[in-house]
Structure 1
Amino acid sequence: MGGMMFRIISIFVAFAVSGLFMQGAVSASDEPLLSIYKRDPWLMVIGSDSPVFSYYPDGTIIFMKDDDGYFTANIEGTSSEASLKALMEAMQHREKMVRVASATDQPSYEFFVHDEKDWKAAAIYGAFDKASLDARRERYREWFEEECSDNNSNDRCARVAQIIEDEPDLPADIIDLWDFAMSGHWEHAEPWTPSHLEVMFWPYEYAPGKSIEWPEAWPGLDHTTTLERREDSFSVYLPSSEAEAFEALVKSMPPKTAVLIDGRKMAVSYRLPFPHEVPSGEEGE
């Protein structure tokens, strides 16, 4: 696992062990009215990103604050909630996908708004903050200066020149919603961790090293709350009380090492599930 994942789980462990966190009043049956994801194309399990922001019917918000981990607050009845609802309403009329990058393996940003009848979704492909856009334009400019000239002009050069000249057509409604959600300036916000870790397993039978054994006392692949995501891929929900022990287990694993769970050699990763993502019966236990 990469450095970012270790940092996040270390923050999680610090809050969980100290007790300085809130799980909030949101139950597993409460679907969020808004969830925002920043998708990392390099995750070990593609698409397993946790939300960076969720807003629930009771006014609870859960959000990531820079690299400091997750926080929660309740904005029910406040001007902040009114502003958020207005931004959500504006976004529901947005086209589904906006591209600000043409290269592969770029982050994407997904916005899911729930109205009375259905989900509305919108997405931006490619980093859209000013620093990222300026850096991307500079890379195109350097390429253009090296590859294009009066004697070497082609369609690709023309397209790159247009990219350098044009400002991207960024959707103001989505940008406003993102900026609002990521502002982090919420009164009375408290550190938040989930009730459980979602530990993801998939086959790693060819792992060359000696396997690390999954503790028998922890939920296994046949536990009642374990979910089979795809054929031979599982999500096991580990209580947050075991976060410190799980961190120690992960850090003890050399590269190319499998976890031996229920007699099977499996690769492992994890994510922090939001309340509505924890199987019924586990949230809050």
Structure 2
Amino acid sequence: MRFIINILCCILAFSSCTEIKKYHSIHAGPKPIAVVIERNPGIRVTGSETPLSVLYENGTLIYSEQSEADIPFYMKKELEPEDFKILKNEICMTEKFKKLRNSYNLCPNILGSTTVEIYMSDGKNSKAVSVYGYGIELEKIHDRIPYPDKNDKLPDEFRRIFRKLTGLNFIEAEKWTPDYIEIMIWPYGNAPEKSANWPSGWPSLSHPLTRKRGDSYSLYMPGLEKNDLNDFLDNLKPKQAVLINGDKWSVDCRFVFPGEPLWMKAFNKMQ
């Protein structure tokens, strides 16, 4: 009996290691050293937000921009060694940032506001700070909002780093396409519209990279296929489900960033 139990444990351990390897292969790449994310309470899948800006240990910078149609996209810039050194020294794990609390609440009596989270790492130590009641739009009016004295004050160092990371822009930067796109699906069995068939050849529940999340799943497809995916999603009706493996699902997607499990883990610890 003990022999059988040992065999089962080995099988489970091997399966777990295989899942971990698959997950990390999706997020392979340089390690992030500075990340800023804005959390929106109205997002369809909680926690699926992508960064406004990410700086990596090798000098790669990825940052978001808005098109004339107000559609976000990402730019990528390989910083020159000297420029990278200057930026890194200016924002990464500064002494003032290290002294910040893990979280601040600028408007505790207001529900549904945005949250900004900043992650920093020097390769040995890391720190994450969250500020509720702050963001791109709130930054424009923050000083004019009459917050009561009992609310937290926005730390100057947090604001300085936020402005720096979200204000970076380079004419010679190139449009960035991720290695993978995460397709998030969750049950939509009562969808009133006729379901749309998931294209054959696209990843399904049985795909080797697919990950289960409770009653939901994450499917992964190459970033180079993003235009085909966008065309498919744009043609879906508001109350139309997608038929995958015989079941009805709601679908949303996001870009996958290199090294994102590092900052996700840090942010999750604060919740």
**TM-score w.r.t. length of structure 1:** 0.71
**C-alpha distance 192-87 of structure 1, shift in aligned 2 (>3 A):** same
Q: Contact 1:84 / 1:180 at 8 angstroms: preserved in 2?
A: no
Corresponding residue for residue 252 of structure 1 = 235
Residue 159 of structure 2 aligns to a residue whose secondary structure is helix
Corresponding residue for residue 8 of structure 2 = none
* Match status 1:99 vs 2:108: no
* Match status 1:181 vs 2:165: yes
Q: Distance in 2 between matches of 1:209 and 1:125?
A: 38
Q: Distance in 2 between matches of 1:130 and 1:196?
A: 31
Corresponding residue for residue 51 of structure 1 = 51
Q: Which of 110, 116, 123 does residue 130 from structure 2 map onto?
A: 123
My pick for the range that moved more, 40-49 or 114-123, is 114-123
Letter in 2 for 1:71: M
Letter in 2 for 1:121: A
Residue 275 of structure 1 aligns to a residue whose secondary structure is coil
In the TM superposition, residue 259 of structure 1 has moved relative to its aligned partner by 0.7
Residue 31 of structure 2 aligns to a residue whose secondary structure is coil
My pick for the range that moved more, 234-243 or 37-46, is 234-243
Corresponding residue for residue 234 of structure 1 = 217
Q: Contact 1:205 / 1:264 at 8 angstroms: preserved in 2?
A: yes
- What is the CA deviation profile of residues 63-96 of structure 1, one whole-angstrom value per residue up to 9, with x for unaligned ones? 1124552111122522453233332222222111
- What is the CA deviation profile of residues 249-270 of structure 1, one whole-angstrom value per residue up to 9, with x for unaligned ones? 2122112211111111111111
Q: Contact 1:207 / 1:257 at 8 angstroms: preserved in 2?
A: yes
Q: Distance in 2 between matches of 1:112 and 1:130?
A: 19
Letter in 2 for 1:131: K
Q: Distance in 2 between matches of 1:65 and 1:105?
A: 24
Corresponding residue for residue 262 of structure 1 = 245
* Match status 1:194 vs 2:178: yes
Letter in 2 for 1:268: V
Letter in 2 for 1:249: F
Among the aligned pairs, what percent are the same residue?
A: 29
What root-mean-square deviation, in Å, do the aligned CA atoms of Structure 1 and Structure 2 show?
2.4
In the TM superposition, residue 187 of structure 1 has moved relative to its aligned partner by 5.7
Residue 236 of structure 2 aligns to a residue whose secondary structure is coil
Aligned 1:70-81 pairs, distance under 5 A:
70-81=74-85
Q: Contact 1:60 / 1:76 at 8 angstroms: preserved in 2?
A: no
Corresponding residue for residue 89 of structure 2 = 85
In the TM superposition, residue 115 of structure 1 has moved relative to its aligned partner by 2.9
**C-alpha distance 205-111 of structure 1, shift in aligned 2 (>3 A):** same
In the TM superposition, residue 169 of structure 1 has moved relative to its aligned partner by 2.4
Letter in 2 for 1:190: E
Corresponding residue for residue 141 of structure 2 = 132
Residue 176 of structure 1 aligns to a residue whose secondary structure is helix
Q: Contact 1:58 / 1:76 at 8 angstroms: preserved in 2?
A: no
Q: Distance in 1 between matches of 2:169 and 2:203?
A: 38
Letter in 1 for 2:204: G
Corresponding residue for residue 194 of structure 2 = 210
In the TM superposition, residue 133 of structure 1 has moved relative to its aligned partner by 2.0
Q: Distance in 1 between matches of 2:35 and 2:65?
A: 15
Q: Distance in 1 between matches of 2:173 and 2:82?
A: 14
Residue 78 of structure 1 aligns to a residue whose secondary structure is helix
Corresponding residue for residue 22 of structure 2 = none
Q: Contact 1:33 / 1:55 at 8 angstroms: preserved in 2?
A: yes
Q: Distance in 1 between matches of 2:214 and 2:163?
A: 38
In the TM superposition, residue 134 of structure 1 has moved relative to its aligned partner by 5.2
Q: Contact 2:203 / 2:220 at 8 angstroms: preserved in 1?
A: yes
Q: Contact 2:106 / 2:151 at 8 angstroms: preserved in 1?
A: no
